[in-house]
Amino acid sequence: MTEEKDQNPNPSRRQFIKTGAVAAAGFMIVPRHVLGGKGFIAPSDKLLIAGVGAGGKGESDIANFYKSGKAEIAFLCDVDDRRSATSRKNFPKAKYYKDWREMFDKEHKNFDAVSVSTPDHNHAIITYNAMQLNKHVYVQKPLTHDIWEARLLTEAAKKYKVVTQMGNQGASNDGTRLMSEWYDADLIGDVHTVYCWTNRPVWPQGIAWPPPQQNIPKELDWDLWLGTAPKKDYVDKLVPFNWRGWWDYGTGALGDMGCHLVEAPFRVLGIQYAKDVQASVGSVYVDEFKEGHFPESCPPSSHITLTFPKSAKTKGDVTLHWMDGGIQPERPNELLASEDFGGEEGNGTLFIGTKGKMYASTYSDAATLLPKSLTKSAKAPQKWARVPGGANGHYAQWVEGCIAGYGKTELSSSFDKAGPLTEALLMANLAVRGHELNGGRVKLEWDNKAMKVTNFDAVNQYIKRDYREGFVLKA
How far apart are the C-alpha atoms of 430 and 416, rounded to whole Å? 22
Residue 35's pLDDT is 36
Query: Which one of 3.90.1300.10, 3.30.360.10, 3.40.605.10, 3.30.1600.10 gives the CATH number of domain 172-388+415-462?
Result: 3.30.360.10
At 436, the pLDDT band (50, 70, 90 cuts) reads confident
**Position 463 confidence tier, pLDDT thresholds 50, 70, 90:** very high
What pLDDT is attached to residue 471? 93
Mean pLDDT score, 78-84: 98
Structure confidence at residue 39 as a pLDDT band (50, 70, 90): very low
Q: Answer yes or no: is pLDDT of 6 > 90.
A: no
Q: Are 443 and 427 in contact (CB under 8 A)?
A: no
Q: Which long-range contacts (CB under 8 A, 24 or more apart) does 378-381 make?
A: 378/182, 378/187, 379/185, 380/181, 380/182, 380/184, 380/185, 380/187, 381/181, 381/185
Check whether 140 has a pLDDT greater than 70. Answer: yes
Domain boundaries, the chain: 43-170, 172-388+415-462
Confidence band of 44 (pLDDT split at 50, 70, 90): low
If you compute the radius of gyration of the chain from its CA atoms, what whole number of angstroms results?
A: 23
More confident residue, 86 or 15: 86
Alpha-carbon distance values, 69 to 59, 64, 72, 178, 414 (Å): 17, 9, 8, 28, 21
Q: What does the DSSP assignment read for 19-48?
A: HHHHHHTTT----HHHHH-TT---GGGSEE
Distance, in Å, from the CA atom of 265 to the CA atom of 285, rounded to the nearest integer, reads: 35
For residue 338, give the nearest of 310, 372, 377, 301 by alpha carbon. 372
- Given the candidates 3.40.50.720, 3.30.1360.70, 3.10.450.50, 2.30.29.30, the CATH classification of the domain at 43-170 is 3.40.50.720
Query: Which pLDDT value is given to residue 475?
Result: 76
Percentage of the residues of the chain whose pLDDT score is greater than 70? 90
Q: Are 274 and 306 in contact, with CB atoms under 8 Å apart?
A: yes
Q: Binning pLDDT at 50, 70 and 90, where does residue 344 land? A: low
pLDDT band, very low/low/confident/very high, at 45 (cuts 50, 70, 90): confident
Task: Please state, as a whole number, how many other Cβ atoms lie within 10 Å of the Cβ of residue 468.
Answer: 14
pLDDT, residue 11, reads: 38
- Residue 440: what pLDDT? 72
Rounded CA-CA distance 58/49 in Å is 12
Task: State pLDDT tens for residues 101-117.
Answer: 999 999 999 999 999 99
317's CB contacts (< 8 A; 6+ apart) are 192, 307, 308, 309, 310
Task: Give the distance between the most distant pair of CA atoms in the chain.
Answer: 88
Separation between Cα atoms, residue 394 and residue 157, nearest integer Å: 18
Q: Round to whole Å and give the CA distance between 211 and 197.
A: 33
Cross-strand partners of 96? 76
| Cα-to-chain-centroid distance, residue 213 | 31
Identify which of 64, 45, 224 has the alpha carbon closest to the alpha carbon of residue 138: 64
Range 291-306 average pLDDT: 96
The angle subtended at Cα 154 by Cα 153 and Cα 158, nearest 5°, is 105
Cα–Cα distance between 94 and 110 in angstroms, integer? 11
pLDDT score recorded for residue 407: 96
In this prediction, residue 472 carries a pLDDT of: 86
Closest Cα partner for 179 from 261, 253, 254, 255?
Answer: 261
Which runs of E-coded beta strand occur in 53-190? 71-77, 95-97, 113-116, 136-139, 164-166
pTM assigned to the model? 0.90
Strands 71-77 and 47-52, sheet pairing = parallel
| Beta strands 136-139; 164-166: pairing state | parallel
| Rounded mean pLDDT, 136-151 | 98
- Of 177, 176, 134, the closest CA to residue 156 belongs to 134
